[in-house]
Amino acid sequence: MVVRKTAIFYLIFGAAALQAQSLKSPDGKFEMNFQLKNGVPFYNLNYQGRPVVEDSKLGIRIFRDGELQFGSEIENKDNKATNLDGNFVKTDEKRDTRNETWNPVLGEKKSYVNHYNELAVTLNQASTDRHIVLKFRLFNDGLGFRYEFPEQENLNYFIIREEDSEIDLPWDAKTWWITGDYDSQEYQPQTTMLSEIPAKWATSFDGNASQTPVKNAVQTPLMLKKEGREPLYINIAEAAVINYPVSNLEVDAANFKFKTHLTPDAQGAKGYIQTPAVSPWRTIIVSPKAEEVLASKMIFNLNEPTHYADTSWIKPVKYMGVWWEMIIGKSQWAYSTAKNVHIGKTDFTKLTPNGNHAANNEKVKSYIDFAAKHGFDALLVEGWNIGWEDWFGHSKEFVFDFITPYPDFNLKMLNDYAHSKGIRLMMHHETSGSATNYERWLKPAFELMNRYGYNSLKTGYVGHIIPRGEHHYSQWTVNHYYRVAEEAAKHKIMVNSHESMRPSGQSRTYPNWIAAEAARGTEFEAFGGNNPEHQTILPFTRWMGGPMDYTPGIFQTKLDYYFPGDKRFVKTTLAKQLALYVVMYSPLQMAADLPENYARHLDAFQFIKDVALDWDDTKILAAEPGDFIHTARKTKGKDEWFVGGITDENARNFTVDFSFLPKGKTYEATVYADGDDADYISNPQSYKIYKKTVTSRSQLPMKLARSGGYAISLKPLKK
């Protein structure tokens, strides 16, 4: 004991207290410096010798005894200052380094490199006799840091008032952002200078089913660009958000500074912590090249390896769905004309059918026929279960039971029929935000899925969360999403969560949580529209933490095709829709349009049928957020490549350089391009398809229409 105390004494009053700790990235390009200033922790980050993050404060404020109605969680009986944001002395420092590769179950590459240098600083707060650890990991693509709360005599339980992790940029920057919110990310991205965010904030968002915008705050992953002669791209996000609320970033426009702002619960509490515990990682990816930001797997590296013993049942899912026709208003989720139903009491066979229920036996069979014929893995059917008559907007807790089909949906027959044709139905669990109710039905619902042979699940959380007062991104609800993923894994079910928290790389640990919506998807084209640039931004923001179920593939973009005079249209060319399957990585991809529309364009549909969902390799050929993305990927386990390119509202030219192909081999390229007269407004369905022979030395000039794109499949030519 005496010896140890002496050692600590030396560390404090000898070297440690007087100088900063420095950490370099493996390639030496990044340098992170940590120091205590008057007991308050600060860090900064330099890239190539220049500051990217200036001295930025770290700390956690916590509730004092008795301040919240849940009372005395804090062990310190003297009720002294309890915050973990100052009065620290450094008592230990540990360094580590790791260079490893790991293979994602499903991914953009066969293996990801996890290479970092680590600094862990133990900070002691003498006034409370507590210590925490600040852990920094510096990769060749950026910095991750987190708080660690070891179990100790005086730190067992506490409630977070706020995490005050700052990121102080040295300069103003172009920023692609959406409003901070506790309940929704389904917003159009805004592009302004960081300094302009507060002025633009109030008009930055439109209405949503459940939203709680946070003033002058933005969500992550946040994309920034220092413009000028030596541009720098910066991505700020979080990794491994587990048992902790999702964070927003408060904007200090005058100082180009961000600060975490956690999602509160009904009582304003921002995290109930029992030690040992860790915060999510705060991540800062930096590169002079936008392409390298897209290629970064740092967020996944900061998640833990999976603990699942068997992952062989986790497979890519290409699916169609009884869905888009309801989204556009052609048919309905609900079965009857009733306005008010009671699950467990209402006899649905006695209700008057509305005559427009999509999920009926006949229609579902026809979808199965089409999807099976074209080689899909699965068919999503929404509106199969009772309760849709009054599912939304009533804060109705017992809104669905997840096991009882509507009278016109024969669960056994339709699953048998699908299986006989070689495909599976995809289950749909819309919760209406009533998470407490969903948890009650989770086990019987999953047992039903197992009984009928479902292996994938789309969940939905449209509307306000129950427990009432909780938010989509508060700690309780975060834990709920993981609970669902883990329970699903027990039943060998893959989860595709909609209106959930955004992914933070957790698919490394929970690989059956294969995709999420958690952003503004294709459905909004029918609800108010997505800007043409939308898809060129999402991969830099929402996508950084994991795949999105964006539901591309809309061929019939103009809705007046169904409803004469309807002005709604999907702001894309048909060819761009094909390109999205390559540009927007997801192991779960929908062909979202109606079978009849694909039947009219079977030649173009061929690309959707061919495109892979899981990859050995990925090359970002060129990218600029808000402008364009061009991506090439190699199919997992096959000598086969796909290329996709998209543009924003501007027509662009791009020359595909096939140097990513192995040298000396010849491929047949099938090119799906915008027609010469294509235009997302005036002529979206103009496309051309042609074949070319290419090698690694080939170059192919492409013309992209306004909000256009192209897709290329490459198969080796037999010699």
Q: Which residue ranges make up the site for a copy of itself (CB under 8 A)?
A: 69-73, 151, 156-157, 159, 210, 212, 265-267, 269, 272, 274-275, 339-340, 342, 390, 393-397, 436, 439-440, 443, 464, 467-470, 476, 479
Q: Please identify, using beta-carbon distances, which residue of 266 and 717 lies nearer to a copy of itself.
A: 266
Spatial contact of 716 and 665, defined as CB atoms under 8 Å apart = yes
Shortest Å, Cβ 73 to a copy of itself:
5
Residue 38 to residues 35, 122, 273, 520, Cα–Cα distance (Å): 10, 16, 27, 44
Q: Which residue number, 74 or 314, has a Cβ lying nearer to a copy of itself?
A: 74
Report the DSSP pairing between strands 588-590 and 615-624: unpaired
Given the complex with a copy of itself, which of 272 and 481 has the nearer CB atom?
272
Cα of 215 vs its chain's centroid, Å:
22
Upper half-sphere CA count for residue 305 (Cβ side, 13 Å): 9
Q: CA angle 436-441-447, nearest 5°? A: 150
Residue 432 CB, nearest distance to a copy of itself (Å)?
11
Nearest distance from residue 234's CB to a copy of itself, in Å?
Answer: 34
To the nearest whole angstrom, how small is the minimum distance from the Cβ of residue 156 to a copy of itself? 4
Measured CA to CA, the distance from residue 39 to residue 387 in angstroms comes to: 57
Q: How far apart are CA 221 and CA 628, in angstroms?
A: 18
**Dist CA 20 CA 29 (whole Å):** 18
Give the nearest distance from C-beta 450 to a copy of itself in angstroms.
17
Nearer to a copy of itself, 269 or 583 (CB): 269
Contact 691, 671 (CB under 8 A): yes
Instruction: Give the residue from 418, 416, 385, 420 showing the smallest Cα distance to 403.
Output: 385
Q: Are 582 and 642 in contact (CB under 8 A)?
A: yes
Nearest distance from residue 511's CB to a copy of itself, in Å? 21
Three-class SS string for 81-143? CCCECCCEEEEEEEEEEEEEEECCCCCCCCCEEEEEEEEEEEEEECCCCEEEEEEEEEECCEE
Is the CB of 380 or the CB of 399 nearer to a copy of itself? 399
Distance CA 424, CA 378 (A): 5
DSSP state of 397: S
Burial of 309 (0-12, 13-18, 19+ CB in 10 A): exposed
232-239 and 281-287 strand pairing: antiparallel
Measured at the CA of 361, the angle between CA 328 and CA 548, to 5 degrees, comes to 45
Q: Name the catalytic one among 291, 523, 525, 640.
A: 523
- Least distance in angstroms from the C-beta of 407 to a copy of itself: 21
Smallest distance from a copy of itself to CB 265, Å: 6
Residues 6+ apart with CB under 8 A from 89: 12, 17, 36, 39, 123, 124, 126
Q: Report residue 530 as tokens.
A: 């997505």
CB 465, CB 437: distance < 8 Å: no
Q: Does residue 457 contact residue 488 with C-beta atoms inside 8 Å?
A: yes
- In the complex, minimum distance from the CB of residue 61 to a copy of itself, in angstroms, rounded to a whole number: 17
- Torsion, Cα 389 394 395 396, to 10 degrees, reads -40
- State the nearest-atom distance from the C-beta of 378 to a copy of itself, in Å: 29
CA angle at 651 for the pair 645 and 656, rounded to the nearest 5°: 35
- Quote the CA–CA distance of 184 and 579 in Å, as a whole number: 27
Q: Residues 149, 277: contact at Cβ < 8 Å?
A: yes
Q: Which residue lies nearer to a copy of itself by CB, 363 or 440?
A: 440
Task: Return the ∠ at Cα 368 (arms to 367 and 374), rounded to 5°.
Answer: 95
In the complex, least distance from residue 412 CB atom to a copy of itself, rounded to whole angstroms: 25
Q: Which of 309, 352, 355, 358 is nearest to 331 (CA)?
A: 358
Q: Which is nearer to a copy of itself, 246 or 399 (CB)?
A: 399
Q: How many CA atoms lie within 13 A of 671 on its CB side?
A: 19
Q: In this complex, which beta carbon is closest to a copy of itself, that of residue 97 or of residue 274?
A: 274
Q: Closest CB to a copy of itself among 394 and 600?
A: 394
Concatenating the DSSP letter of every residue in 243-275 gives: SS--EEEEEEGGGTEEEEEEPP-TTS---EEES
Which lies closer to a copy of itself via its Cβ, residue 436 or residue 698?
436
User: Closest separation between CB of residue 206 and a copy of itself, Å?
Assistant: 15
Classify 158 as helix, strand or coil: strand
Is residue 108 part of the annotated active site? The answer reads no
Q: Are 428 and 458 a contacting pair, CB within 8 Å? A: yes
The residue (of 151 and 227) whose beta carbon lies closer to a copy of itself is 151
Closest CA to 434 of 485, 497, 480, 475: 480
**Nearer to a copy of itself by C-beta: 55 or 397?**
397
The residue (of 273 and 702) whose beta carbon lies closer to a copy of itself is 273
- Picking from 381, 160, 180, the residue whose alpha carbon sits closest to that of residue 278 is 160
DSSP secondary structure, 511-541, as one string: TT--EE--S--TTHHHHT---TTHHHHGGGT
Minimum CB–partner distance for residue 125 and a copy of itself (Å) = 19
Catalytic sites, residue numbers = 523
